Structure 1
Amino acid sequence: MPSEITALRASFFDFTGVVSRPEEIADRARYLEDGVLLLEAGRIVGLYAWDARPPLPDEVIDLRGRLIVPGFIDTHIHYPQTEMIGAYGEQLLEWLNHYTFPVESQYHCPDHAATMSEFFLQQLLANGTTSALVFGTVHPQSVDALFSAADAINMRMIAGKVMMDRHAPDALLETPEQSYADTRALIARWHGRGRLSYALTPRFAPTSSSALLEKVQQLRQEFPDVWLHTHLSENPQEVAWVKALFPERQGYLDVYHHHQLTGRRSLFAHCLHLDDREWQCLHETDSAIAFCPTSNLFLGSGLFNLKRSWEQGVKTGIGTDVGAGTTFNMLQTLGEAYKVGQLQQYRLSAAEAFYHATLGGACALDLHDHIGNFSAGKEADFVVIDPAVSPLQRLRLSHSKDIWEQLFMLMTLGDDRNIAQTWINGRAVWSRDAGCTQR
């Protein structure tokens, strides 16, 4: 039996191709004030201007007045930290000890992990996020629960269990051998199942002995198509600690590079305090960065140099970094990214911001052949945005002369109220009116 074509009429915005310089972004932008998107079997058939539409099915979903953009891609987030978001008063290392480790110790319980996985995915969908690169905890059951919940709605998800064997509470530590065995079993169980992928997830260098990193390296060699997800140079005290723990290495990044953990599908969160040699290494190895503005500001860690990432040719996506990050909402996160740029005399345009949150994030995750825009054949993940849900937004929208001002208004005044629907794999799985995931 032929599958059904779904047609949606609305305004549409995306980017038609990957760029290497910010000056190219606006030229790759595509805006259709009145367009129609055709879907079939979970994929994009095509995006057309309404006046140039092909033959359509009898029923067209009319969403005029709404703006449809590709689903937001969160390149760094911790699902177990959802329940401690907004924890007061610490910088990174103290924050881990006072808040993070106690919360993560609960995830040995499969029921707790399942409950929080469902809640976490609900938050992603309610905020228009359709793909994410996610930290679990050291417990395999934390990853089993998250992947099970994502698989139930056919959501594209990359995740992994934390790997760490020192400098954490005893209940959260494992031996390198145990970490290897548990991770290997998770890869066999989940990697490549549906739209799920696995990420090797050493928490960061301070909680990783050389013996553990050797096991991560072994897994990377055995499974070269998995991802590598960790932290790098988030906090000055952390950087100094790494230098003391690994005096034989040339710097923080060299701890990972020495173990062959840089490269395509390696994503390093934060990267606030890199030296010239580390920037060059990220470029030469085709590694990627997650820019996490809300958590960098919340923990007082520093300001990410987005201009430098362009100059060095390092792929960069946006991470909400919940729970140090203070919102699941990508619109609010982009607003904070703009302010980080302003503090460094870098003007983050709406075009560049939405690029990083969609196709740029897909590129950082090496998923740009699958998601990130409305090209024919791509997976049909997108978000329906109501551009004016408050009197203030309606007033500002009435004075917006083009799509760029409309997008900038959304990233400075927008929040979860603007998310009307979230579509996963060609199906509306979350609706603001319904207020819940639709299975």
Structure 2
Amino acid sequence: MSVKAYLGSIFYLTDDPAVIKAPDCYCYWPDGMLVCEDGMITAVGPRDEVEKTLPEAAEIIDHSGSLIIPGFIDTHIHFPQLDMIASFGEQLLDWLERYTFPEEAKFKDPAHAKECADFFLDELLRNGTTTALVYGTVHKQSVDALFEEALARNMRLITGKALMDRNVPEAVRDTTAESSDRDNRELIERWHGKGRLGYAITPRFAPACSDEQLTLAGKLLREHPEVLMHTHLSENVSEIDWVKDLYPTAKDYLDVYDRFGLLTNQSVFAHCVHLEGQEFQRMAERGAAISYCPTSNLFLGSGLFNMKEAEKYGVDVGLGTDVGAGTSFSLLQTMNEAYKVCHLRGHKLDAFKSFYLATLGGAKALNLTDKVGSLEVGKEADFLVLDMHATPLLSRRLKHANTVEETLFVLSMLGDDRTISHTYVAGVCQHRKS
């Protein structure tokens, strides 16, 4: 691959704005240059400095007038719920029974899984998501289909088959805990580390998994310290009450996962809307991460995530769209809703933190900061070009933005899929707005 240099305004975070205050937590060059070779970032900085170091044969791609940022990282999304997004009227448990499980049963058909995987990944790229932690279904073939399509696009994608062997319909239930463990082991062997793919052991949630299944999941996690564990936690009050009935001696919902060895620095817990202080503290002590899913939490009426409390205890947090309970693939729209949820909690979510959650914060949650999340030299060349004139309103409003922080905030409030001009994956353009 030849050396390519991209011109434009360049922005990325280097640290958590809640820990290292602006401007020390980011890099920004109004007239910048990003240089890539063989899918990696080899130089970045002010154009007048970086341009001097270019080899004569370098190809220059001009995105002047646009903003270049790292690719978005979605830390929680359900690929098989693609066709049930915007389903009316239910909270979590009834929503699963009425919509989710019947839809996921269709993924027994490999052809259906492949067609959905193809559309799903293209939609991620169209919305600027270059890395994602994704739920499959209980069917091994759904995971195969998603990995195959992600490999073809060279995406950094982490997924796993959903583990469910009780309290769910037969069509989406594992035959036995042992069969699900065999499936996991075969999938790890086949896919983990292939291209830019990674595996996640994926219990649906504690009520859907027997003690035997959770025990085997914990054992597998210990045997494979390089994979993730991905599940749901404290999303809905009725769900929490159900867990209390199933595990009356547990200290809390988090303790259930801890008992089975599933609370580690490999763990990503989606939602965490109703956590208490001691749960945040235990998550921080173990290095576990949270996926904050505001559009889903609002749509299902689940509650308002407490970002300030997560920051207080130092828990790593990334953003998740949670499609299909979430209502958009766009992490820009997800930032919009995250701001509103924080506002209702009495906390002002600034623009630097919003973009941190969608980029470097997501990478940290997924243990990927050595690979993605920023545009530092040595990172993989996953980046976006944002169209500052994507809509007439956005264009008009940005004329009055006097700082980079204001520009980012306006993008997070008014931006959506139309704002994504180009999506580059490992230095290759995988989406270009028509």
Q: What interval of TM-score do these two structures reach, taking the shorter chain for normalisation?
A: over 0.9
Partner Cα separation in structure 2 for residue 137 and residue 193 of structure 1? 21
| 1:19 aligned partner | 16
| 1:284 aligned partner | 285
| 1:78 aligned partner | 78
The DSSP-based 3-state class of the residue aligned with 1:186 is: helix
Following TM superposition, by how much is the alpha carbon of 1:276 offset from its aligned partner in structure 2, in angstroms?
Answer: 2.4
Q: Where do 1:174-193 residues align within 5 Å?
A: 174=174, 175-193=176-194
| 1:436 aligned partner | none
Please list the CA deviations of residues 55-92 of structure 1 after superposition, one character each: whole Å capped at 9, or x if unmatched.
32453101101101000000000000011001000000
- Tell me the amino acid that sits aligned with residue 32 of structure 1: W
| 2:317 aligned partner | 316
Following TM superposition, by how much is the alpha carbon of 1:265 offset from its aligned partner in structure 2, in angstroms?
Answer: 1.8
| 1:437 aligned partner | none
- Tell me the amino acid that sits aligned with residue 401 of structure 1: N
Partner Cα separation in structure 1 for residue 260 and residue 408 of structure 2? 42
Partner Cα separation in structure 1 for residue 154 and residue 349 of structure 2? 33
Partner Cα separation in structure 2 for residue 259 and residue 203 of structure 1? 14
Structure 1 residues 109 and 285, CA gap change in structure 2 (3 angstroms): same
Contact preservation (8 Å) 1:264, 1:285: yes
Q: How many residues align?
A: 430
Contact preservation (8 Å) 1:22, 1:352: no
Please list the CA deviations of residues 292-311 of structure 1 after superposition, one character each: whole Å capped at 9, or x if unmatched.
00000000000000011110
The DSSP-based 3-state class of the residue aligned with 1:37 is: strand
Partner Cα separation in structure 2 for residue 259 and residue 215 of structure 1? 8
User: 2:5 matched to 1:7?
Assistant: yes
| 2:131 aligned partner | 131
Contact preservation (8 Å) 2:2, 2:59: no
Contact preservation (8 Å) 1:20, 1:310: no
Contact preservation (8 Å) 1:317, 1:364: yes
Q: Where do 1:391-406 residues align within 5 Å?
A: 391-406=392-407
Following TM superposition, by how much is the alpha carbon of 1:385 offset from its aligned partner in structure 2, in angstroms?
Answer: 0.5
Contact preservation (8 Å) 1:105, 1:171: yes
Partner Cα separation in structure 2 for residue 95 and residue 200 of structure 1? 24
User: 2:222 matched to 1:202?
Assistant: no
Partner Cα separation in structure 2 for residue 173 and residue 25 of structure 1? 48
| 2:432 aligned partner | 431
Partner Cα separation in structure 1 for residue 58 and residue 80 of structure 2? 45
The DSSP-based 3-state class of the residue aligned with 2:240 is: helix
Please list the CA deviations of residues 159-199 of structure 1 after superposition, one character each: whole Å capped at 9, or x if unmatched.
00000101110111111011101111101100111100000
- Tell me the amino acid that sits aligned with residue 379 of structure 1: E
| 1:64 aligned partner | 64
- Tell me the amino acid that sits aligned with residue 137 of structure 2: T
Contact preservation (8 Å) 1:26, 1:351: no
Partner Cα separation in structure 1 for residue 246 and residue 172 of structure 2? 20
Please list the CA deviations of residues 71-115 of structure 1 after superposition, one character each: whole Å capped at 9, or x if unmatched.
000000000001100100000000000000000000011100000
User: 2:269 matched to 1:268?
Assistant: yes
The DSSP-based 3-state class of the residue aligned with 2:10 is: strand
The DSSP-based 3-state class of the residue aligned with 2:312 is: helix
| 1:228 aligned partner | 229
Partner Cα separation in structure 2 for residue 224 and residue 354 of structure 1? 29
The DSSP-based 3-state class of the residue aligned with 1:27 is: coil
| 2:295 aligned partner | 294
Residue range with higher mean Cα deviation, 361-370 or 58-67 = 58-67
Following TM superposition, by how much is the alpha carbon of 1:393 offset from its aligned partner in structure 2, in angstroms?
Answer: 1.1
Partner Cα separation in structure 1 for residue 8 and residue 377 of structure 2? 18
| 2:39 aligned partner | 42
| 1:422 aligned partner | 423
| 1:217 aligned partner | 218
Structure 1 residues 5 and 343, CA gap change in structure 2 (3 angstroms): same
Partner Cα separation in structure 1 for residue 64 and residue 390 of structure 2? 15
Partner Cα separation in structure 1 for residue 61 and residue 200 of structure 2? 37
Using structure 2 for the length normalisation, give the TM-score. Answer: 0.97
Structure 1 residues 19 and 411, CA gap change in structure 2 (3 angstroms): closer
Structure 2: where are the runs of 5+ without partners? none
| 2:99 aligned partner | 99
Structure 1 residues 411 and 20, CA gap change in structure 2 (3 angstroms): closer
Contact preservation (8 Å) 2:16, 2:356: no
Please list the CA deviations of residues 306-329 of structure 1 after superposition, one character each: whole Å capped at 9, or x if unmatched.
011110010000000000000000
The DSSP-based 3-state class of the residue aligned with 1:24 is: coil
| 1:111 aligned partner | 111
Runs of 4+ aligned residues of structure 1 deviating over 4 Å after TM superposition are none
Contact preservation (8 Å) 1:190, 1:198: yes
Partner Cα separation in structure 2 for residue 25 and residue 208 of structure 1? 44
Partner Cα separation in structure 1 for residue 198 and residue 231 of structure 2? 16
Following TM superposition, by how much is the alpha carbon of 1:20 offset from its aligned partner in structure 2, in angstroms?
Answer: 7.7
Q: Where do 1:289-438 residues align within 5 Å?
A: 289-433=290-434
Using structure 1 for the length normalisation, give the TM-score. Answer: 0.96
Structure 1 residues 361 and 26, CA gap change in structure 2 (3 angstroms): farther
Residue range with higher mean Cα deviation, 177-186 or 270-279 = 270-279
- Tell me the amino acid that sits aligned with residue 40 of structure 1: E
Contact preservation (8 Å) 1:235, 1:272: yes
- Tell me the amino acid that sits aligned with residue 97 of structure 1: E
Contact preservation (8 Å) 1:421, 1:432: yes
User: 2:158 matched to 1:161?
Assistant: no
Work out the percentage of aligned pairs sharing the same amino acid: 51
| 2:248 aligned partner | 247
Contact preservation (8 Å) 2:3, 2:58: no
Following TM superposition, by how much is the alpha carbon of 1:4 offset from its aligned partner in structure 2, in angstroms?
Answer: 1.7
Structure 1: where are the runs of 5+ without partners? 434-439
Structure 1 residues 19 and 413, CA gap change in structure 2 (3 angstroms): closer
- Tell me the amino acid that sits aligned with residue 348 of structure 1: L
Please list the CA deviations of residues 192-249 of structure 1 after superposition, one character each: whole Å capped at 9, or x if unmatched.
1110000000000110111110110121122121100000000001001001001121
Partner Cα separation in structure 1 for residue 374 and residue 197 of structure 2? 19
Contact preservation (8 Å) 1:10, 1:33: yes
